Amino acid sequence: MRIALTTLGCKLNQYETWQMASSLAKAEIVPFSEIADIYVVNTCTVTKHSDFRSRQLIRQAKRRNPEARVIVTGCYAQTQKEVLSALPEVDLVMPNEDKSSILAVINSLSQEKLPVNETLEAGFLADYTRAFVKIQDGCDNQCSYCVVRIARGRQKSVTPEAVIEEVSRLSEKGYQEVVLTGIQLGGYGTDLSQTTSLARLLLSLGAVKSLRRLRLSSIEPLNFTDELIEIMTSLDNLCHHFHIPLQSGDDEILRKMNRDYSASDFWKLVNRLKNNFPEMGLGTDVIVGFPGETDSQFENTYNLIEELPFSYLHVFSFSPRPGTAAAQMPAQVMPEIIKQRSQRLRALGKEKKLSFQKIFVGQTLSVLIEKKYDDETGFLTGLSDNYLRIFTENDDKIINKICNINIHKIYNNKMLGRVT
Ligand code: SF4
């Protein structure tokens, strides 16, 4: 049986696709662009565009092999089951919680039965140097624009013992970097019978001797407690890279988003982190065109982002998500205005990225070499501790090693350096 899987959306969704593929390892897993008997489309619904892309992939699958069965899962499938079930290309809409039983689901659909794979690999291996580990799912916050919490439900944390075991095993196997992922990482542990926190989990992970690098995915501003910052500062293996969703730099819009912090709180947090981690890479998410966003409210966001030391931006155009409070709010912003504002912010994002890159020319960065960039140039590429993509000409022997690289120039927006 040939099975093809594809994913849209966040790292957690990618992790879950990997887990499904791993439990189906007794089948022949083929790229999504090839002919398969079963296609699994792991959808996303964070914006209207994600819904559109999900439907496109579903149609592509059936066009590639009209005889194939198409299974649709993920957050779009979770929130819009009726819409997707009505598509003629869809054979089955599978809820997120059934992803772990994909083998049984496929066996119930097809004549040929797949055996259970006993050798399940832990951790999502993004590129054989870096592994992703899911520490929680769901979210207890109530941001007014967010459909993810509807799709994923309430917070569910993995126990600290299970996380520590998985991280230790992966790092002992030779993975140089582990990335902790989830929907709302900062809420980790509050739902467990023995409540704990992300800070305490990090402290335990800091003691895993074989773990060279630990990276965190996105953390909400309100989750940066004093304890968390203190522990982060004390860890040797924590990457100085933080992704903190801002969403808006205007207090009134933040209030309407139900985000419980002000622009000034965010400004203070970033400056505090900058003092503790002067070379940190800092990313953020920002939503443009939230209902009622005026020109001056957008300027507040623009100015705050301009002022803060972001190294990259993810800009999202607001689109009303069914079932959310924001979808019912009056004064939805015109699409042309959203487009113009997004373009301005994306241009600012590019400028900020370049300014950040320039700081490190002449300096030495610690880089995990992941792979060959291409066969033509012979360049290798990897990510620095502070999330800069670096290119270097060297022998393949340094792949999956953490090297010190002296940056000598930026060429075509790429940072080039030499191993020291
Ligand atoms: S913190 Fe807000 S935006 Fe993030 S998943 Fe929870 S509700 Fe959605």
DSSP symbol at 174: T
3-class DSSP assignment, residue 301: helix
- Tens digits of per-residue pLDDT, 267-283? 999 999 999 999 999 99
Ligand 1 centroid to 220 CA: how many Å?
A: 8
pLDDT at 93 over 80: yes
| 146 CB within 6 A, ligand 1 | yes
Q: Is there an atom of ligand 1 within 6 Å of 141 CB? A: yes
Find out whether the beta carbon of 217 lies less than 6 Å from any atom of ligand 1: no
Helix (H, G, I), strand (E, B), or coil: what is residue 88?
coil
Contact 180, 158 (CB under 8 A): no
If you measure from the C-alpha of residue 198 to the centroid of ligand 1, how many angstroms do you get, rounded to a whole number?
17
CATH topology of domain 272-355: Transcription Regulator spoIIAA (3.30.750)
User: Looking at ligand 1, which residue's alpha carbon is closest to its atom 1?
Assistant: 141
Q: Which CATH superfamily is domain 2-109 in?
A: Methylthiotransferase, N-terminal domain (3.40.50.12160)
Tell me, using a 6 A CB cutoff, whether residue 136 lines ligand 1. Answer: no
**What is the distance in A from the centroid of ligand 1 to the CA of 328?**
18
pLDDT band at 122 (very low <50, low <70, confident <90, very high): very low
Q: What is the pLDDT of residue 24?
A: 86
pLDDT tens, residue by residue, 42-67: 999 999 999 999 999 999 999 999 99
Q: Which atom of ligand 1 is nearest to the CA of 218?
A: 4
* Other CB atoms within 10 A of residue 103 CB: 19
Specify burial of residue 189 (Cβ count, 10 A radius: 0-12, 13-18, 19+). buried
Chain-centroid distance, C-alpha 371: 20
Q: Is the CB of 143 under 6 A from ligand 1?
A: yes
Class of CATH domain 123-239:
alpha beta
Q: Is 147 in the pocket of ligand 1 (CB under 6 A)?
A: no
Instruction: Specify the residue for token string 């730099």.
Output: 249
Is pLDDT at 249 greater than 50 in this prediction? yes
Q: Domain 364-419: which topology?
A: OB fold (Dihydrolipoamide Acetyltransferase, E2P) (2.40.50)
Domain with CATH 3.30.750.210 in the chain: 123-239
From the list 85, 94, 82, 84, the residue with the least C-alpha distance to 16 is: 94
The whole-number average pLDDT for the span 372-392 is 92
Q: How far is the CA of 258 from the centre of ligand 1 (A)?
A: 10
d(CA 409, CA 113): 55
Residue 141 CA to ligand 1 centre (angstroms) = 6
Q: What is the rounded distance in angstroms from the CA atom of residue 297 to the CA atom of residue 390?
A: 36
Give the residue range(s) of CATH 3.40.50.12160 domains in the chain: 2-109
Cβ of 184 closer than 6 Å to ligand 1, yes or no, is yes
12 in Cβ contact with 182 (< 8 Å): yes
Q: Whose CA is nearest to atom 8 of ligand 1?
A: 146
pLDDT at 200: 97
Å from CA of 184 to ligand 1 middle: 7
Rounded Cα gap, residues 312 and 309, in angstroms? 9
Position 1 scores a pLDDT of 87
User: What is the rounded average pLDDT for all residues in the chain?
Assistant: 93
Is 139 in contact with 149 (CB distance < 8 Å)?
Answer: yes
What is the per-residue pLDDT across 285-299, written as a single tens digit (0 to 9) for each? Answer: 999 999 999 999 999
pLDDT tens profile 156-170: 999 999 999 999 999
Query: pLDDT-based confidence at 127, cuts 50/70/90?
Result: low
**Site of tokens 């590429």:** 381
Q: In which residue ranges of the chain is CATH 2.40.50 found?
A: 364-419
Query: Alpha carbon of 148 to those of 78, 154, 238: distances in Å?
Result: 10, 10, 27
Q: Is 152 in the pocket of ligand 1 (CB under 6 A)?
A: no
pLDDT at 193: 96
**Is the minimum distance from the CB of 149 to ligand 1 under 6 angstroms?**
yes
Atom of ligand 1 lying closest to residue 258 CA: 2
Cβ–ligand 1 distance for 211 under 6 Å, the answer no
Mutate to test the pocket of ligand 1, among 139, 219, 224 (most ligand atoms within 8 A of CB): 139
User: How far is ligand 1, taken at its centre, from the CA of residue 77, in Å?
Assistant: 18
Q: Which residues contact 58 (CB under 8 A, 6 or more apart)?
A: 41, 70, 72, 84, 87, 89, 90
Element (H, E) at 230: helix 226-234
**Which pLDDT score, from 0 to 100, does residue 119 have?**
53
User: Range(s) for CATH 3.30.750.200 in the chain?
Assistant: 272-355
Report the alpha-carbon distance of residue 251 to residue 259 in Å, rounded.
Answer: 9
